[in-house]
Amino acid sequence: MAEMSMYRHGANARKQSLLITSLFIFSVLLIAVLIASLASVRLTPETVNQANQIVVDWRLFVYVALAVAGVIVLTSLWKMVSMGGDGAKVARSLGATDVSDETGDPLITRYKNIVEEVALGASMQAPRIFVLENEPGINAFAAGSSPDKAAIAVTRGALKLLNRGELAAVVAHEFAHIRNLDMRLNVRVIGLIHGLMVLYVVGRILMHSGGRSRKGGAQIALIGIAIILLGLLGAFMGKIMQAAISRQREYLADADSARYTGDPDSLAGALKKIGGLQHSGMKEAVHDELEEARHMMFAELSVKMSGLMSTHPPLVKRIQALDPSFDPDQNGWPSMENAEVAKEA
Amino acid sequence: MEWVLLGILGVLILYVILEYNKLVRLRNVFQNAFKQIDVTLKQRHDMIPQLVNTVKGYAKHEQATLTGVIDARNQAEKLRGQSDSGDAGSMLALGQAEGLLGKAMGGIFALSEAYPDLKADGAFRDLMEQLTTIENKVAASRRGYNNTVLEYNNVLETFPTNILANMFTFKRASELDFDDREAIQNAPEVEF
C-alpha cells in the first residue's frame, strides 16, 4: 500500500515537471512574438480616409522574433556550457574533495560502499564521489548534466551523524536527481533567467538610442521599455518557477530514493536529524560558495527560507510524505514550519 | 476475399514475430540480472573464510557455530555453481541454501556481541563493513532480478501471448527468495 502511493507520487511529480517545462517554452515564444509585433506593426495614416491603418512588416516580424528567441536560447546555451556538464568540476568549485581513490578512513569506505550499493539498486553507474570536509551540518548535492559525468558530494557531518541506512537514503536521493536529469533542467532554468536578464540590457540600449534618433525614435524607445519590462517580469517569474520546479523535483527525488533503497523510514530518519540539528541552533553552512548552490543541496541551507522563493519543500512536509504519522510538536520542533503547514492545510 | 484472408494472415504472422522477440528480449534481461546476483553471491561466499578466521582468534569455544557457517557456505557455493537462472527447482534450492547461510552468519553476528574484544577489533570492524555492503548488494541485485522475472512472467502468462509461449516452450521463470531477512537486519551496526 505504502509502496503504491510512493509510485503515484512519483508519476504525479513527473507530470508537473513536464507542465512547468512546457510553460517555459511557451513563455519564450510569447515574449518573442510580443516584441516582434511591437517592432513590425506600424500605424500609417491613410491619406484618403484620414484614418489609421495597421501595416505589418512580416519580414521584420520574423527577423525580430528569431533574434529575441535566439538571444535567449544562445545565452541559455552559453550558461549551460559554463555551468558545466562535468559534475566533478562543479563539485571542486564548491569546495568538495575527491575521495574516489582515498582509502583508510572507515567513514569514507562506508560511504563508497553505500554509493556502490545504491548504484546497483538503481541500475546506474556509480558517479564520482566527493566530501565537503568543513561542513559540520548534514547535507549533500549532485552535479553534472548527464549520468556519465555526474558527481555527488556529502558533508563530513552527514558521514558522522547519519547511520548506514540514512546515508544510503541521502545518497539515493542524489542518485534520483542524476537519473531524473534535474541538474540539466536546473541549468536550463538558470540559463533562461540569464537570457531574460540579457533582454533587460538590450532594452536599455534601445531606449537610449531611440531617445536620440528622430525618425521612428518613439517606437524604438517604446520597444526598449517593453523589452525591459518583459525581461524583468520574466526573470522574476523565472526565479519563482525555478523554486517551484526545484521543490517538485525534491519530492520526486525523495520518492525515488525510497524506491531505490526500499527503505523510506531511513530517509525520513535523515530528514528528522537535519530538522533536529537546525532547530537546536547549529550553524548549518560555513561556506559562502554553497549559498549559490542552495538549489542543489539535499536540504535547505537555512531554516528561514520558506515560501515562494524556497527551493525546497518544508522539512516537515517532506517527512510527512514518507511518514504520515510524524508530528513535529511531539519532537519539540519550534513553531515556524508548523505554522506554515497549518496555514496551507 | 482472398486478399482479406491474406491480409489477416500477414497481420497474424507479424504479431507472432513481435511477441516472440519480446519474450526473447525479456528472457535475456532476467538472465542477465541473474548474472549480477551470481557475482554478488560469489563475493559473499569469498568473504566467509576471512570472517571465520577473524572470529576464530577470539571465540575458540564457538567451533560449532563456525563449522556451521563453513558448511552452509560450501553448500551454497556448490549450488551457485550449478544454478540455472529462472528454473524453479534451482532457484528454490539456491534460495534455501543462501537463507541458511544468512542465518548462520546471523549466528556469528550475535556471537560477536558476547566478545567485546572481537567487536572492538579493527579488522573485524572492516570485515563487518564489507559484509554489510555485500549483503546490501545481494539484496539489491536480488530485487532487480525479481523485478525482471515479474515483468517476463507477466508477458508470458497473459492471453494471447501464453498460447505462443506454450508453442515455443518458453518456461515460467522463478523468483529468488531468501528466508533470512531478520538475520541480515540484525547485523551489528559498528560505531566508528
> CA nearest B25: which of B161, B179, B116?
B161
CA angle in degrees (0–180, nearest 5) for A317-A161-A140 = 60
Residues of chain A with C-beta less than 8 angstroms from the C-beta of B137: 116-117, 120
B140 vs A163: CB contact, 8 Å cut-off? no
Quick one: DSSP state of residue A42?
Answer: E
In the residue annotation, A174 being an active-site residue is answered as yes
pLDDT at B77 over 90: yes
> CA nearest A175: which of A269, A245, A254?
A254
ipTM of the modeled complex: 0.72
Indicate the domain borders of chain A.
2-82+189-245, 87-182+249-344
Number of Cβ atoms within 10 Å of the Cβ of B81: 9
* A3 vs B: CB within 8 A: no
Q: What is the DSSP string of chain B?
A: -HHHHHHHHHHHHHHHHHHHHHHHHHHHHHHHHHHHHHHHHHHHHHHHHHHHHHHHHH-GGGHHHHHHHHHHHHHHHHHHHH--TT-HHHHHHHHHHHHHHHHHHHHHHHHHHH-HHHHH-HHHHHHHHHHHHHHHHHHHHHHHHHHHHHHHHHHHHSTTHHHHHHHTTPPPP-----S-HHHHHTSPPPP-
CATH of the domain at B81: 1.20.1440.20
The pTM (predicted TM-score) of the whole model is 0.71
Backbone φ and ψ for A44, nearest 5 degrees, come out as -110, 125
Residue B190 lies in a domain: no
The share of chain A scoring above pLDDT 70, in percent, equals 71
> CA nearest A319: which of A280, A281, A276, A287?
A276
**Average of per-residue pLDDT across B4-18:** 94
Higher pLDDT: B45 or B178? It is B45
The CATH fold assigned to A87-182+249-344 is Zincin-like (3.30.2010)
pLDDT level of residue A5 (50, 70, 90 thresholds)? very low
pLDDT at A19 over 80: no
pLDDT level of residue A341 (50, 70, 90 thresholds)? very low
> CA nearest A326: which of A269, A252, A281, A242?
A269
Residue B86 lies in a domain: yes
**Identity of the residue numbered A164:** R
> CA nearest B97: which of B80, B112, B109?
B80
Interatomic CA distance for residues A245 and A185, integer angstroms: 9
* A161 vs B: CB within 8 A: no
Higher pLDDT: A190 or B29? It is B29
Closest CB from B126, B130, B143 relative to A121: B143
Cβ atoms of B175 and B28 closer than 8 Å: no
Interatomic CA distance for residues B178 and A262, integer angstroms: 16
Lowest mean pLDDT among A2-6, A86-90, A149-153, A188-192: A2-6
Listed ranges A9-18, A121-130, A218-227, B104-113; the one with the highest mean pLDDT: A121-130
Closest CB from A107, A121, A163 relative to B189: A163
pLDDT of residue B5: 94
Residue B29 lies in a domain: yes
Quick one: DSSP state of residue A288?
Answer: S
pLDDT of residue B112: 80
Tens digit of each residue's pLDDT (9 = 90 or more) over A48-83: 565 666 777 888 889 888 888 888 778 777 766 766
Tens digit of each residue's pLDDT (9 = 90 or more) over A116-169: 999 988 888 889 999 999 888 899 999 887 788 899 999 999 999 999 999 999
pLDDT of residue A84: 59
pLDDT of residue A24: 67
Residue B17 lies in a domain: yes
Residue B105 lies in a domain: yes
pLDDT of residue A39: 77
Structural domain boundaries enclosing B22: 2-185
Residue B192 lies in a domain: no
Taking the CA atoms of B9, B10, B13 and B19 in sequence, report the sign of the dihedral they define: negative
Q: What is the dihedral of CA B155, B161, B163, B166, to 10 degrees?
A: -40
Residue B67 lies in a domain: yes
- SS3 of residue A183 by DSSP: helix
Residue B79 lies in a domain: yes
What domain count does chain B have?
A: 1
